[in-house]
Amino acid sequence: MKFKVIKEVEGSKARLGRLFTPHGEVDTPCFMPVGTAATVRAVFPKDLEKDGVQMVLANVYHLILRPGIQIIKEAGGLHKFMGWTGAILTDSGGFQVFSLSSFCKILPEGVRFKSPIDGSSLLLTPESVIDAQIELGADIVMSLDHCPPWPSKEKDLVEATRRTICWAKMGKERWEKHWGTEMVEGATNPLLFGIVQGGTKKELRQFCFEQLLKIGFDGFAIGGLSVGEPLEESLKTIEALTPFMDSSYPKYVMGMGHPWQIIQMVDLGIDLFDCVLPTRLARHGSAYVEEGILHLKNARFKTDGLPIDEKCSCYACRKFSRAYIHHLLKSQEILGIMLLSMHNLSFYNRLMKEMRLSIGNGQWIDFLTRWRNKKITK
């Protein structure tokens, strides 16, 4: 068993689940801090562990460029290299097709990138991406996909969707060469996820999922919904797609991660999330609290003796004041960013725990109503 649904909510698609990975069980709904280059920025792994983080995300494209898969493999794998004992999901590099479009050329066999580091040429294929993630020792391996920009012409969306399906099939065939077609009793195989593309077109999304289901994956991600489209369109797309997705599989929305967005997506039946926002906002001097976002560089915090959040028990809130963190930020001291990163990730982790508890206790609707009245946004 790789995923188990523990409890479902009547009147909602929200559910409590558990993923089984080579590096331990992961309770869902789960938020994964982003550690693109084998590190969650400005946060020690020990602090992530202490806060209850069960899985982080890394990116195979960036790790191929630097330091290189072979170096990590010789160091004992990605877990040992980055000092992380929990589970790791590795993104395949499909998002970089969108975000680094000026550096890449899409080919039938994969994507050729020009390295933004040294200008060298890098070809990512569905097969090489699977090989690299297995060599890294990832717990969840992502299939290579074509992530189109928004807006795109319908013919381009169709082409990207069909290419994603084709690459998924090629990647699955390579996967089977590593692991075979049957699971071995007691084996600690990683999980393989397919990525559903199709823009905001309901029919394309459904077609993509149906084809991926036929190919066979351990879970499914919904990609391409944080590429510039309005939030309302993203949520409508997820709402239209999830009823067609087999509920026995884990579902993962890639790259969307404001707290209120996550709560809405949990209500739509999504299990896994990742986003750079907690640490990115920290680097810009901002902190999440239930009432909204505090911009601690603002002058009004210069003499504020309160903690970032009186309801939070993280190290930053227990030990330091808003005034001190304001001082650190104005002085461009790295500790300010570290404390805010720690707090923001603690905020997210606490939110996920509260959601799991409310689902388990049969209080999800009450939790949803309470947060609907807050609607934390930018």
Virtual torsion, Cα 51, 52, 53, 54, nearest 10 deg: 160
| Residue 93, annotated as binding a ligand | yes
Strands 286-289 and 292-295: antiparallel
Query: Facing residues of 251 across strands?
Result: 220
Instruction: Please confirm, yes or no, whether 274 is among the known catalytic residues.
Output: yes
| Residue 92, annotated as binding a ligand | yes
CA dist., res. 25 & res. 54, Å (int): 8
| Residue 95, annotated as binding a ligand | yes
Strands 292-295 and 87-91: unpaired
| Residue 197, annotated as binding a ligand | yes
Q: What is the DSSP letter of 86?
A: S
Angular region, 274: left φ>0, alpha ψ -120 to 50, beta rest:
beta
| Residue 312, annotated as binding a ligand | yes
Query: Facing residues of 105 across strands?
Result: 112
CA dist., res. 97 & res. 144, Å (int): 10
CA dist., res. 3 & res. 249, Å (int): 7
| Residue 317, annotated as binding a ligand | yes
| Residue 206, annotated as binding a ligand | no
| Residue 304, annotated as binding a ligand | no
CA dist., res. 26 & res. 2, Å (int): 10
| Residue 224, annotated as binding a ligand | yes
> Of 91, 218, 267, 309, which residue is the catalytic one?
91
> Of 27, 139, 218, 274, which residue is the catalytic one?
274
Instruction: Please confirm, yes or no, whether 91 is among the known catalytic residues.
Output: yes
The structure tokens listed for 135 are 């060599």
| Residue 208, annotated as binding a ligand | no
Helix (H, G, I), strand (E, B) or coil at 362: coil
Catalytic amino acids? 91, 274
Binding-site annotation, residues: 91-95, 145, 197, 224, 312, 314, 317, 343
Binding-site annotation, residues for substrate: 91-95, 145, 197, 224
Binding-site annotation, residues for Zn(2+): 312, 314, 317, 343
